[in-house]
Amino acid sequence: MTPLDNDPDAGLDPLAFTVTRNLAAAAPARREEILQNPGFGVHFTDHMVDICWSVRGGWHRPRVQPYGPITLDPAAAVLHYGQEIFEGIKAYRHADGSVHTFRPDQNGRRLQRSARRLALPELPVSYFIQSLRELIAVDEPWVPSGEDQSLYLRPFMFAKEAFLGVRPANKVAYYLIASPAGAYFTGGVKPVSIWLSEDYARAGKGGTGAAKTGGNYASSLLPQAEAYENECDQVVFLDQDRNVEELGGMNVVFVYKDGTIVTPQSESILEGITRDSILQLARDRGHKVEGRGVSLEEWRSGVASGDIVEVFACGTAAVVTPIGVLKGRDFLDQQPTGDLALSLREELTDIQYGRREDKHGWLVRLDGAE
């Protein structure tokens, strides 16, 4: 099955991109120097993709152009009302030099769901995947080949119409930029400590929690700062019923003594593609998987009784991260650690880097001919 089966946009003609090469592209030696130690989100490739959208013209003017500042009218709606969405997906270099990405149809569809919620236009999934290919066609040398390195791709879309009235913008821009990413953990994966946010929520019923939109992140910064003040790495949010939601950038997964895997499910949780993939791999191994509400009480008493044997977080950037500690205003629960999280992490990254058979057909080649 190809990723575009069942896609209503699959019959669309590809866009005709105009390509303007960056004449001030980084010299190969400088690029190699960056790729030796790329960090995360600090260096960017030489090019970017943009596609315009307007009510009248639909998607038009697809371009690959030199990476650089965007000119925006100060009245651009995104700067005032936050009408913006984004995605996060990686390109992986395999041992034979080829470049692949992972389940881009899923990211394309999620971008459409986010668009619907934020009253933005839906980019056809085939255009989304084409945009990834167009960027790799010019910036392929930026895909690093070191262990656990990747090229992080950041598609995003925002309201660019200059208008201060409150309504969905009539002019929108889609962009794709890319940033080489080093191994998230240097010196091996280590468990993170989590601060329980009691005063702040990231989303509410009927809100934008399930959409990948900047506003959800803006509202998480203050509770994240509170986590740091309490010497924790990350924050976990609860919903109005005191059910566990997520970390704000990573989903949460619980492993029970009998092998059952449980992950919180609610309308206000962002549905991670990493989580979905990890849960599929667990099902393949015979684990029972449940998506349902998990109360804070169930988490804490499950850990205390030994019913819960592992807790981990997952997302594209860090893949899988064991949770070592849950800290609240008046408690500190040491979390049990096992091998399942790390073994699922290894299986997933083996598939992504082409070291293990891709049984589910999740990889899509981005470089060269299709």
Ligand X SMILES: *Cc1c(COP(=O)(O)O)cnc(C)c1O
* Interface contacts to ligand X, rule CB under 6 A: 88, 212, 216, 246, 248-251, 270, 272-275, 315-316
Nearer of residues 123 and 250 to ligand X, judged by Cβ: 250
Q: Which is nearer to ligand X, 33 or 267 (CB)?
A: 267
Rg (CA), the chain: 21
- Kindly state the smallest distance separating residue 315's Cβ from ligand X, in Å: 3
Backbone angles phi, psi at 114, to 5 degrees: -60, -40
Q: Which is nearer to ligand X, 34 or 125 (CB)?
A: 125
Rounded to a whole number of angstroms, the minimum distance from the CB of residue 278 to ligand X is: 9
For the CB of residue 253, give the shortest distance to ligand X in the complex, in Å: 11
Q: Closer to ligand X at the Cβ: 35 or 252? A: 252
Min separation Cβ 29 and ligand X, Å: 33
Whether 31 and 22 have beta carbons less than 8 Å apart is answered as: no
Beta strands, E only, the chain: 18-19, 47-54, 58-66, 84-86, 89-93, 99-102, 150-159, 171-181, 192-196, 234-236, 251-256, 261-264, 289-292, 308-315, 319-328, 331-334, 363-365
Q: How far is residue 367's CA from residue 68's CA, in Å, rounded to a whole number?
A: 23
In the complex, the smallest distance separating the C-beta of residue 90 from ligand X, rounded to whole angstroms, is 9
State both tokens at 152: 């992080």
199-224 per-residue burial string, b: 16 or more CB within 10 A, e: under 16: eebbbeeebbbbbbbbbbeebbeebb
Question: What is the spatial distance between Cα 185 and Cα 138, in angstroms, rounded to a whole number?
Answer: 29
**Least distance in angstroms from the C-beta of 34 to ligand X:** 24
CA-CA distance, 27 to 33, in Å (whole number)?
10
User: Nearer to ligand X by C-beta: 278 or 309?
Assistant: 278
Compare residues 104 and 302 and give the one whose CB is closer to ligand X: 104
